[in-house]
Amino acid sequence: MPAAVATQLQPTPLHLAPVGTKSVELDFDGGRLSSDAGVVLLKDIDDQLGLTRALAAVLSDPRDGRRIHFTPEDLLKQRVWQIAAGYEDANDANTLRDDPIFKLMLDRLPETGAPLASQPTISRFENRISRSELYRMALVLLEQCIASYASHPRLACSTSMTPRTRSMGNKNRPVTMAIMGAIVLCPFTSMRASRGA
């Protein structure tokens, strides 16, 4: 695009009534903005806990190392942060890949850092995760839960789906359970014992 055309497309600032001796201009060139700065607090918590790092460590990566632009940890973090900010649809990755806050969350410079993963990359990442990797991720979550106690709790239960799983309940809130002997196991659920009993 020629420079003259680009200059014409940029709106000129509006000069408003001065306030005291100060001039007031309304400028529409706000630069690169983001409304998702709240997720930065989650990054600090995750850095302390190492949760996404531990979750990504159990994922295999069958991709050709020469063609990789995003590590499994980068992809997992991008997806987790986007979901935490309310962008549950992977399609939002295309819009958010240049968002300065999300770039910052993955330790990239907000203005000049490389863009984040696109929707197809995020979707391939999500679909590549196997059942055994999901199980190992559940174990990481269980370990994090147990580690949150000063002393080990008396009861901790975490399970994954088994072939003998049944789904019960109405279609709006199904409760999935696997019954083995007298123990009821709920998939990807972590139950903590109360300290008083």
Tens of pLDDT, residues 20-32:
788 877 666 666 6
Angle, in degrees to the nearest 10, between helices 72-84 and 39-49: 140
Question: Residues 192, 161: contact at Cβ < 8 Å?
Answer: no
Is residue 133 within a helix (H) or strand (E), and if so which, with residue range?
helix 131-147
Please give the residue that has the higher pLDDT: either 20 or 43.
43
The pLDDT tens digits of the residues spanning 115-154 come to 999 999 999 999 999 999 999 999 999 888 888 888 876 6
Question: Residues 115, 94: contact at Cβ < 8 Å?
Answer: no
Token pair for 52:
């996404």
* pTM, to two decimals: 0.66
Question: Residues 43, 105: contact at Cβ < 8 Å?
Answer: yes
CA distances 56 to 71, 122, 135, Å, are 9, 14, 13
For 19-33, 46-60, 113-127, 154-168, which range has the lowest pLDDT when averaged over its residues? 154-168
State the Cα angle at 193 between 188 and 196, rounded to 5°: 165
Residue 65 confidence (pLDDT)? 86
Dihedral of CA atoms 173, 138, 125, 172 in degrees, nearest 10, equals 0
Neighbours of 34 (CB within 10 A): 17
For residue 122, with 0-12 CB atoms within 10 Å meaning exposed, 13-18 middle and 19 or more buried, which class applies? Answer: buried
The alpha carbon of 179 is separated from its chain's Cα centroid by a whole number of angstroms, namely 32
Question: Residues 78, 117: contact at Cβ < 8 Å?
Answer: yes
Question: Residues 63, 72: contact at Cβ < 8 Å?
Answer: no
State in Å, rounded, how far the first CA of the chain is from the last one.
72
Q: How confident is the model at residue 36 (pLDDT cuts 50, 70, 90)?
A: confident
Residue 49 confidence (pLDDT)? 92
The pLDDT tens digits of the residues spanning 80-123 come to 999 999 999 899 999 999 998 899 899 898 888 899 999 999 99
Q: Which is nearest to 34 in space by CA: 87, 72, 75? A: 87
